[in-house]
Amino acid sequence: MSNAARKPLIAGNWKMNGLGASAPEFVRIVGAYQGSLKNVVDIMVFPPATLLTSFATSTRGAGVIVGAQDCHPAPSGAHTGDISAEMIADAGGKAVIVGHSERRAEHGETDAIVRAKAEAALRAGLVAVICVGETEEDRDAGKAFEVVERQLEGSVPNAARAKTVVVAYEPVWAIGTGVTPTVEEVAEMHGRIRRALQARFGAEGEGMRILYGGSVKPDNAAELLRAGNVDGALVGGASLKADDFLAIAQAARG
């Protein structure tokens, strides 16, 4: 299956950024999406949880998917400060990021925890965007493929299907640094991820979208998105400005 058989997906992760005053940026994304983009690219936006409901309300009917940046594995309970996948769905969210490297590093999330969170997402009817990626140390030690394949094996649930799971490859050393792997390096890693997904999930693994993330900007998006098995991007910093994010979405048109 070529890239063209999978609808591109551009996802914006706002991380811990955004106040009520940021809503107009999102409204501009929704407006532009309804114009020319809707038929050629899927768009997801992951605002902080405080903005989830208002963004979900403003996108209703427009097709931009809104999601959360994390969820707890349990549906409810005594877990102060956490939110469950069911709560995200109740708030109008349709997707959730799990296993982002910032959560793995800052909150000690293991592959088993990430998998439990992805399973919670599927239980609640959300799309799980499961992040994997090696550190600079891993890459320098020649262990990038091994690390990413181990994360995939440990983090992706057995129930994963093409419509319910998206994999995001984000080399940790490329996040927020302005440094990216070469297009060849991205294609090589995405090819490895594709083969691992196919080996485990067959045709469903062939259809699963694999996003690249890490310093994607309007000026490098087109070449990164042309690489083999790159089905879209998970964008951090450049997703905070509607113009930049929409320029990246335009680049996904091919």
Ligand X SMILES: O=C[C@H](O)COP(=O)(O)O
The binding site for ligand X (CB under 6 A) comprises 13, 100, 170, 175-176, 213-216, 234-238
**Distance linking the first and last C-alpha atoms of the chain:** 17
Rounded (5°) CA angle 133-221-171: 10
Shortest Å, Cβ 80 to ligand X: 25
**Catalytic annotation, pick one of 25, 86, 109, 170:** 170
- Gap between the Cα atoms of 207 and 162, Å rounded: 5
Q: In this chain, which residue has its C-beta nearest to ligand X?
A: 236
Cα–Cα distance list, 182 to 89, 129, 188, 226 (Å): 37, 23, 10, 12
Would you say 100 or 209 has its CB closer to ligand X?
A: 100
Which residue, 83 or 216, has its beta carbon nearer to ligand X? 216
- Report whether 215 belongs to an annotated binding site: yes
The annotation status of 14 as a binding-site residue, yes or no, is yes
**Toward ligand X, which CB reaches closer, 43 or 86?**
43
Q: How far is CA 208 from CA 18, 80, 86, 180, in A?
A: 30, 34, 23, 23
213 annotated to a ligand binding site = no
Dihedral sign, Cα of residue 43, residue 47, residue 49, residue 54: negative
Q: Is 232 annotated as a binding residue?
A: no
**What is the distance between the alpha carbons of residues 158 and 154, in angstroms, rounded to a whole number?**
10
Q: Smallest gap, in angstroms, from Cβ of residue 15 to ligand X?
A: 7
Has 100 been annotated as catalytic? yes
| HSE of 66, CA atoms in CB hemisphere, 13 A | 27
Active-site choice (25, 100, 102, 119) = 100
Written in H, E and C, the secondary structure of 109-137 is CCHHHHHHHHHHHHHCCCEEEEEECCCHH
**Min dist. Cβ of residue 131 to ligand X (A):** 7
> 112 vs 179, which CB is nearer to ligand X?
179
Nearer to ligand X, 205 or 236 (CB): 236
* Least distance (Å) between residue 228 CB and ligand X: 21
165: β partners: 128
Rounded CA separation 49/37 (Å): 26
Least gap, CB of 237 to ligand X (angstroms): 4
Closest-CA residue to 18 (of 51, 45, 64): 51
- Binding residues for substrate are 13-15, 176, 215, 236-237
Report, as residue numbers or ranges, the catalytic residues. 100, 170
Q: Which residues are annotated as a binding site?
A: 13-15, 176, 215, 236-237
